[in-house]
Chain A
């Protein structure tokens, strides 16, 4: 199972919006609603930011939103803040009853 494809890095200025893409296949992202997004700060464990494509856990800022079109999922961060600087990973359930993570995207706040 190959990792889902994400851009290596995305950057934006404070207050701007950025979008991270996550491209898979019909056997993972395109075939299921079980796509989630995780934020990871250096030396820390991942934290779920979006689950089941477009749902936000309680306690997560409404500046984070998710969507999906075909085999590509997206995470949008609006009103970018310094604390959003981190690595972000998408994750999808697959047809082989496994899970697969994305390659990861480093978000830089300029």
Chain B
């Protein structure tokens, strides 16, 4: 069964840091683009970042550029998101999603999400 499982969320103070992980099973993340998407509870989906299978191309939303870093460890089949200089407005559920191009450009597999709460 193909699956993504996020972890690493929690409560952090403004200005703090957190590292999210997304473990994949049933497929190799090295063969696809991987994305992070976030959602404030009760609000809409917001695209955050993506990384190519070989890690050589990375893109970020303007709202997180310079503060968040996406990376991957293909040997461990795991995606990461390093969150630095966190702000209250970064509070959200963070989802990882794959884009395997088996269904065109769709984000075809999603994790269950991990909650990040930024509060003093």
Q: Do A and B belong to a common assembly? A: yes
- Chain A residues in the interface with B (C-beta under 8 A): 1, 3, 34, 36, 38, 40, 45-48, 51-52, 55, 57, 89, 91, 93, 96-104
Choose among B60, B106, B111, B112 the residue that contacts A48 (Cβ–Cβ < 8 A).
B106
- CB neighbours (8 Å) of B44 from chain A are 3, 89, 101-104
Closest 4 CB pairs of A and B: A51-B106, A52-B104, A34-B105, A45-B110
A-B contact pairs, 14 of them (CB 8 A): A1-B62, A3-B46, A38-B107, A46-B37, A46-B97, A48-B103, A52-B104, A52-B105, A52-B106, A91-B47, A93-B105, A98-B50, A101-B47, A104-B44
In the assembled complex, B73 has its CB within 8 A of some CB on chain A: no
- CB neighbours (8 Å) of A97 from chain B are 59
> Which residues of B in the span 80-120 have a Cβ within 8 Å of any Cβ on A?
95, 97, 103-108, 110-113
In the assembled complex, B11 has its CB within 8 A of some CB on chain A: no
Asked if A47 meets B105 with Cβ closer than 8 Å, knowing A98-B59, A101-B45, the reply is no
B105-A46 in contact (CB<8A): no
- A47 to B110 CA separation, bound complex (whole angstroms): 8
Asked if A101 meets B59 with Cβ closer than 8 Å, knowing A34-B105, A45-B95, the reply is no
Give the most central of B45, B60, B61, B112: most A CB within 10 Å: B45
B79 to chain A, nearest CB (A): 15
A99-B35 in contact (CB<8A): yes
- A100 to B44 CA separation, bound complex (whole angstroms): 11
